Amino acid sequence: MKSKFDIPLSYNAIPGQQLASKIQQYADRHHDDFISDFEKTICAITGAKHAIALSSGTAAIHLGLKALQVQQHDIVMASSFTYVASINPIVYLGAEPFFIDSSPTDWNMDPNLLEEGVKVCISRNKKPKAILVVHTYGMPADMNSIMDISRRYNIPVLEDAAEALGSRLGDVSVGTFGKVGVFSFNNNKLITTYGGGALVTDDQSVAANINLWASQSRDNLPFYEHREIGYNYKMGPINAAVGLSQIEALDSKIKHRREIFTLYKDRFGHEMLWQSEGKNVFTNRWITAGRFGTNMDCRALQRKLAAAGIETRLLWKPMHLQPVFQGFQAQENGTGEGLFLNGLSFPSGDDMTPEKIDRIYSLLRG
């Protein structure tokens, strides 16, 4: 069964022939070569010096925060308009998220609100330990401004680029501005490993620590010895093989997603507000997401489209509004809440066509 929807949001069919061919190429090699070659490919795409393939993007965020020495009771400035997987690892470490609302143009962390939040923390003698910024729906955040704040206040940055492989600012890949960057290869991403992620960094000591922690912190000795707690977070060989079987098509996949966004934008005209691509910004347009310019019952619309076999999703409910995170601090401007109330993400997968977009539009307006 391909999908329970005739038109899914972002579905990766199992690449049977490509996967079999890729596995055959490694028939006489060690199975760990799948993983090391996948890591080398991620480095080649992003320009990062080191990449560590892990079991999920969430695991990568967890170890990335640990590499930034985030500990119990520390404060991490974090994007509020995101998926919960961005934030949970902060709590895994016993730290506290301080939520930062979004810019109305790119929907990512608002640098002005970020600096306001940093100043609030410092005024309370609680300087933040890290900044966790998310590149939402593949759209690069304003990393120039955020990195300026990072340098001025000496706070390291972790980039959650889970949805943004191939996105860049100028010639620089997202995920490589901060001390560490994270990508996801979950089932619905541009490139999937059917569960998996990667952490990238230019810091050799960080890479060495991540590799150690992700392998149960086993020391390089002829017997099992462990000096600290580790995790079973390494990516499996077959997952890496799936990634290798797809990743050569990354550029064509991005080209298609950007074309799909343009078709939606042309078809919907000025009825929707979209994430805007600023100067020197290139987004992979992983998911086409829009906010209705007028009040729209997005939940009723979602049900109507689902009844017709079309998968859509409401935009993220901001983390500062989530029941599980009540009580944590936030700098708000209402943007994230407005996106949640009036926005929808539309089918954007490899199988999208102009005809399918017309069908969606007709149902929306019918």
- pLDDT tens for the 366 residues of the chain, in order: 356 899 999 998 888 899 999 999 999 999 999 999 999 999 999 999 999 999 999 999 999 999 999 999 999 999 999 999 999 999 999 999 999 999 999 999 999 999 999 999 999 999 999 999 999 999 999 999 999 999 999 999 999 999 999 999 999 999 999 999 999 999 999 999 999 999 999 999 999 999 999 999 999 888 999 999 999 999 999 999 999 999 999 999 999 999 999 999 999 988 899 999 999 999 999 999 999 987 789 999 999 999 999 999 999 999 999 999 999 999 999 999 999 999 999 999 999 999 999 999 999 887
Q: Is the whole-model pTM more than 0.85?
A: yes
Q: Which CATH superfamily is domain 250-365 in?
A: Aspartate Aminotransferase, domain 1 (3.90.1150.10)
Longest dimension (CA), the chain: 69
CB 158 within 8 A of CB 132: yes
Q: CA distances (Å), 189 to each of 57, 161, 166, 177, 192, in order?
A: 11, 11, 12, 21, 6
Q: Give the DSSP letter of residue 235.
A: P
Which residues fall within 8 angstroms of residue 339, CB to CB, at 6 or more apart?
Answer: 81, 102, 107, 291, 315, 316
Number of helices (H) and strands (E), helices first, in the chain?
12, 15
Which residues fall within 8 angstroms of residue 290, CB to CB, at 6 or more apart?
Answer: 264, 268, 272, 273, 274, 343, 344, 345, 346
What residue type is assigned to position 5 of the chain?
F
Paired with 288 in beta bridges are 346
Q: Could you state, in order of their start, the residue ranges of all structural domains in the chain?
A: 16-248, 250-365
Paired with 344 in beta bridges are 290, 314
Q: What are phi and psi of 123, to 5 degrees?
A: -65, -20
The angle formed by the CA atoms of residues 333, 66 and 205, to the nearest 5 degrees, is 125
Kind plus residue range of the DSSP H or E element containing 157: strand 157-160
As its CATH architecture, domain 16-248 has: 3-Layer(aba) Sandwich (3.40)
Closest C-alpha among 244, 178, 343 to residue 22: 244
Q: Is 73 exposed, middle or buried (0-12, 13-18, 19+ CB in 10 A)?
A: exposed
Q: CA 64 to CA 270: how far, in whole Å?
A: 40
